[in-house]
A = this chain, B = another copy of it.
Amino acid sequence: MTNDSITLSDKTIGRLSLYRRVLERTPKNNKPIGHIFSHELAALAGFSAVLVRRDLMTIGFSGNPKKGYDAAELLDCIGKFLDAPGGTNVALIGVGNLGRALLAYFTYRRPMLSIVAAFDANPEFTNRVIQGCRCYSPDDMERVVQEKNIRMGIIAVPSVGAQDAADRLMRLGVTGFLNFAPVALRVPSSVYVNQIDMTMELEKVAFYARQTKE
């Protein structure tokens, strides 16, 4: 039914992720949603109804003009696109303030996306379990990444260590990064980097907040 040969735009896969969480979370009169209309899903996710319909169209998911979309089937269909069949194992590099918050949040939250190991250069954090996740020394990276079949990395170390951390993980076969350090990672085109620059996001808000206030 669903086929990965379709190309999804970057924006669309982000929205699919959000549709899924909204559907998982939102109960309708205390029982799971049966069917949902595009405009309902749009309101929950914060987009327009036509955009929802087009996203679902691109993944080849069909609804019923009278009842809307079957929520359970839609969840399944989105999962077929977003999730790797056996789940994806993630490494966290840097167990500082941000890293610990991420561990606390993501541990056991997404069944198909697990942070299975954390690494930190500070011996204070290594060889213990933090927020339910085992924390290792960077020296153990080669062994642990291979043992645990880690495919992607979250970089939450200071800027100066970010490129080095990425380089080491790439040598071990990691092909995707979520990078919180405000520095541009140099990677080959076969590796995907998603850069989150919170300072930039904050300054953007400050800019617009000022525009509307004055």
Contact = CB atoms under 8 A, between A and B. Distances in A.
A14 B51 CA distance: 25
B113 A206 contact: yes
Interface pairs A-B: 6 shortest CB-CB: A46-B184, A176-B209, A192-B208, A97-B101, A17-B203, A176-B205
Contacts of A208: 175-176, 192
A129 interface: no
A184 B151 contact: no
Nearest to A109: B199
Interface string A53-88: 000000000000000000000000000011110001
Interface of A: 10, 13-14, 17-18, 21, 25, 43-46, 81-84, 88, 90, 96-98, 100-102, 104-106, 109-110, 112-113, 151-152, 154, 159, 173-178, 182, 184-185, 190-192, 194-213
A152 B110 contact: no
Contacts of A82: 203, 206-207
Main secondary structure of the interface of A (DSSP, over half): helix
Given A10-B204, A17-B199, A106-B199, 7 more contacts: A21-B182, A43-B184, A46-B185, A90-B202, A97-B104, A175-B213, A176-B210
Contacts of A112: 206
Contacts of A209: 88, 151-152, 174-176, 192
A125 to B, nearest CB: 15
A210 B13 CA distance: 13
A183 to B, nearest CB: 8
A79 to B, nearest CB: 11
12 contacts: A14-B197, A17-B199, A46-B184, A81-B207, A84-B210, A97-B101, A97-B105, A173-B213, A176-B209, A176-B212, A191-B212, A192-B211
